[in-house]
Chains A and B, each alone.
Chain A
Amino acid sequence: MSKNISINVHHITRVEGHGNIVVNVKNGTIEQCQWQVPEAPRFFEAMVRGRRFDDIQTIVSRICGICSISHSFAAIKAVEDALGLEITEQADKLRLLLHYSEIMQSHTLHVGYLVSPDLFGEKSVVPLVSKAPEIVKKIIKIHRVANQWSELLAGRITHPITVIPGGFSMIPSEQQLKDLKKQLEEIVPDLAAVCEAVLSVADKFPAFERETEYISLKQDNPPLYALFHGDITSTDCNGDGPVPVREWERVANEYVTPQSTAKWTRWHRDAFAVGALARFNNNAELLSPLAKKVADMFGLKKGNCNPFMNSVAQLAECAFVVENAIQTIDALLSKGLKQEKVKVSPRAGRGSGCVEAPRGILFHTYEFNKNGECVAANICIPTNQNHANIQKDFEKFVPEFMHLGEDGLRHGMEMLVRAYDPCISCSTHMLNVTFVK
């Protein structure tokens, strides 16, 4: 084993930021071990100032190309909180259904396209297509259904146009919901096959654990595996009760650190984790039967502190959202769908909204003047809440896995970052090409 290791995974482009991994080991002593996030500061909070309450979701849904539905909902809930709006049971169920579609889209993308190549020993999904075509086709099929599912309810796959403060501007037909239900039932065997395929290579998940505080929503009334409603809870709460969403700032405790231009967070400890594993650790008993079966396949149990198991928790959540979506569709159809009129008047107020985005709990707060114009905004994204925890994981991971040598350690650390399903550099994407002579 080499006593000297130098890892510098460095990615910076002009606008986009990426996470940098920096490790220096000299004569077996770790001199530096850092997760650096030199992401360009985002000014989306400033962008919404002066905008009307009904423009907010349209703008903030562009913060991210993957979690755009979550940003829309966190914003809409905050607007409705500020304006004192109640929505109907039908609108709430349709929103839940739409939110589930994004969980499905994003988790499939993460496990199928980003994590699977690691497990199957490939650099990316491109070579995996020829190495494991049948399983890749199933992943693509599930992802495609999830996209159509979002499009049905949101009006398009990302950046919803139907979701408005107070409800929906348009809703699908009952026949379209029946068609969706059929599609969801059809992908259950595909999902089971993907779980089996991941299980067959699950020994590639590093055996790594670090005691961690996990934060997520928890929904008690009615009890439901919390992805959309609830109060904030933590595995460290020790009975001091869930925290109302309006008080999220005292949970996140955002702070700045020299190694990152993204804000970091901490609550009971010096770091915490959010995401599917956090939700599982706070709510596992509320998973649906198929989802529990998925967790059991992998031996995932409440209290798990292996960050790599976040991908397994995501698979369990995929099963949950399919099962619960089918039930939600049945509940909607049993009452019959009707187009509901929405009338909203602006007023001064401050409100907060929260949902579980695929990669963790997401908070939005807005303040409006009497004309309904935004005067202040505060957004706290899940990826930023995980940065400090990734750093703490690195500090334990590097000494434990130093024996793998430079390449093995670098790969392990990259896998660790990927396990958190981070949202970095997602607001821009442009092509960068050179012409072939």
Chain B
Amino acid sequence: MTIYSRYFRNEKKMMKQTIVIGLGNPLMGDEGIGIVLIEKLEALARQGKIPKAEGIRFHEGGVGGMNLLHAIAGWKRAILIDCALMGAEPGTICRFTPQQVQSIKKLSHLSVHEVDILKVIEIAKQLDECPEQIVFFGVQPLEIIQRMELSDVLKSQIDRYVQTILNEINQPF
């Protein structure tokens, strides 16, 4: 599949089952965990190591924002991988649904550059284009600093994170 084949025409014909979205910024240390993991998953899919990958799209979502609204629209299931402050030990990966958490993120509402993903999901619901199932995988960061690599705590657990997400992908829903 070329990078363009999904544009406008092909994606409409595609069975839109599951979209897996990695979010984050790889220039900001552990904030980039979602991007690192989506790249690993994409590589596995390219190598044919993910069964039934034809109905799955792996999507690098950058820092998300309102673009996430468009990315999840029309898919049956969305799996979002992101750095998350959850009050857990650094390196902890948690599976949760939007219903299981409350956002405590404070927005200034001064800039379009800050977005609360849980609010984007709320808008998707209001527009009736929200996936039937949304699952988050949050990874608690150790350090969010200007650095182009993950902390050792997260780096050493990448295989485990990938396997955890693969287990979810393979779950019937």
| Residue positions of A touching B, CB distance < 8 A | 9, 11, 13-16, 18-19, 42-44, 46-47, 59, 62-66, 68, 106, 109-110, 113-114, 123-126, 129-130, 137, 140, 143-144, 147-148, 151-152, 155-159, 161-162, 170, 172-173, 176, 179-180, 183, 414, 417-418, 421-436
Interchain CA distance A143-B62 in the complex, whole Å:
17
Partner-binding segment picked from B44-52, B94-102, B151-159, B160-168: B94-102
Residue B136 is within 8 A (CB to CB) of chain A in the complex = yes
In the bound complex, do residue A68 and residue B110 qualify as a contact, i.e. CB atoms below 8 Å apart? no
Decide: A126 near B7, CB < 8 A? Known: A47-B148, A65-B25, A147-B67.
no
Interchain CA distance A130-B7 in the complex, whole Å:
30
Which one of A44, A170, A180, A423 contacts B3 once the chains associate, using CB atoms below 8 Å?
A170
In the bound complex, do residue A44 and residue B146 qualify as a contact, i.e. CB atoms below 8 Å apart? yes
Decide: A123 near B109, CB < 8 A? Known: A65-B64, A130-B126, A143-B66.
yes
Interchain CA distance A433-B98 in the complex, whole Å:
10
Q: Which B residues touch A144, using CB under 8 A? A: 70, 73
In the bound complex, do residue B8 and residue A429 qualify as a contact, i.e. CB atoms below 8 Å apart? no
Find residues 88-140 in chain B having any chain A CB closer than 8 Å to their own CB: 96, 99-106, 108-115, 117-119, 122-123, 126-127, 136, 138
Q: Which A residues touch B4, using CB under 8 A? A: 152, 155, 170, 172-173, 176
Find residues 4-57 in chain B having any chain A CB closer than 8 Å to their own CB: 4, 7-9, 23-28, 31
| Residue positions of B touching A, CB distance < 8 A | 2-4, 7-9, 23-28, 31, 60, 62-67, 69-71, 73, 82-87, 96, 99-106, 108-115, 117-119, 122-123, 126-127, 136, 138, 141, 144-146, 148
In the bound complex, do residue A179 and residue B8 qualify as a contact, i.e. CB atoms below 8 Å apart? yes
In the bound complex, do residue A426 and residue B113 qualify as a contact, i.e. CB atoms below 8 Å apart? yes
In the bound complex, do residue B144 and residue A140 qualify as a contact, i.e. CB atoms below 8 Å apart? no
In the bound complex, do residue A129 and residue B7 qualify as a contact, i.e. CB atoms below 8 Å apart? no
In the bound complex, do residue B109 and residue A137 qualify as a contact, i.e. CB atoms below 8 Å apart? no
Interchain CA distance A426-B114 in the complex, whole Å:
6
In the bound complex, do residue A62 and residue B26 qualify as a contact, i.e. CB atoms below 8 Å apart? yes
Decide: A434 near B28, CB < 8 A? Known: A109-B112, A423-B111.
no
In the bound complex, do residue B9 and residue A179 qualify as a contact, i.e. CB atoms below 8 Å apart? yes
Which one of B25, B101, B127 contacts A62 once the chains associate, using CB atoms below 8 Å?
B25
Decide: A68 near B62, CB < 8 A? Known: A143-B70, A152-B7, A431-B105.
yes
From residue B35, how far is it (CB to closest CB) to chain A in Å?
A: 9
Which one of B7, B63, B67 contacts A426 once the chains associate, using CB atoms below 8 Å?
B63
Having A424-B110, A431-B138, one finds 13 other A-B pairs with CB under 8 Å, namely: A65-B63, A114-B112, A147-B67, A157-B62, A159-B62, A162-B3, A414-B110, A425-B114, A429-B24, A431-B82, A434-B102, A435-B86, A436-B99
Interchain CA distance A161-B65 in the complex, whole Å:
19
In the bound complex, do residue A124 and residue B104 qualify as a contact, i.e. CB atoms below 8 Å apart? no
In the bound complex, do residue B70 and residue A147 qualify as a contact, i.e. CB atoms below 8 Å apart? yes
Q: Which B residues touch A436, using CB under 8 A? A: 99-102
In the bound complex, do residue B106 and residue A13 qualify as a contact, i.e. CB atoms below 8 Å apart? yes
Interchain CA distance A11-B9 in the complex, whole Å:
44
In the bound complex, do residue B103 and residue A431 qualify as a contact, i.e. CB atoms below 8 Å apart? yes
Q: Which of B8, B26, B145 has the most A CB atoms < 10 Å from its CB?
A: B8
In the bound complex, do residue B111 and residue A424 qualify as a contact, i.e. CB atoms below 8 Å apart? yes
Q: Which A residues touch B96, using CB under 8 A? A: 433, 435
From residue A22, how far is it (CB to closest CB) to chain B in Å?
A: 14
Q: Which B residues touch A151, using CB under 8 A? A: 7
Q: Which A residues touch B8, using CB under 8 A? A: 148, 152, 176, 179-180, 183
- 12 residue pairs from A and B, CB less than 8 Å apart: A44-B27, A126-B123, A140-B70, A159-B60, A424-B111, A428-B25, A429-B65, A430-B144, A431-B105, A431-B136, A432-B105, A436-B100
Q: Which A residues touch B146, using CB under 8 A? A: 42-44, 46-47
Interchain CA distance A19-B21 in the complex, whole Å:
30
Q: Which B residues touch A42, using CB under 8 A? A: 146
For the complex of A and B, list the 3 residue pairs with the smallest distance between their C-beta atoms, beginning with the closest: A426-B113, A65-B63, A431-B84
Q: Which A residues touch B64, using CB under 8 A? A: 65, 429
